[in-house]
Amino acid sequence: MSITRRVGSKGQIVIPKVFREFLGVRPGEEVVMEIVEKELRIRSEVDPEKFMEDFCFSPKKLTRKIDLEKVLGEEVEERFALH
């Protein structure tokens, strides 16, 4: 999915709400920006220690294997209404 945004007079752009929600980015949080093959990529910054803590010490463990690609695909379709 792509959305076109205009660059403001100070060189700023606003990340669309739907993208912020999908990435879990909240006001005041940092994002990582990088140039890859003439593209600007913006992604949420994931703290590896916090991720491991949340993942490993979760009181609820998976009881069966899941197809991560399928689950993520369904989540993207639901959030962006891509039917």
Those residues with Cβ within 8 angstroms of residue 16's Cβ, 6 or more apart along the chain or in another chain: 3, 5
pLDDT in tens, 26-69: 888 888 899 999 999 888 877 667 667 766 766 666 677 878 78
pTM: 0.49
Strands 39-44 vs 31-36: parallel, antiparallel or unpaired: antiparallel
| Contact predicate 22/77, CB 8 Å | no
Compute the average pLDDT of residues 5-21: 91
Q: How many angstroms separate the CA atoms of 15 and 12, rounded?
A: 10
Q: How far apart are the first and last CA of the chain?
A: 13
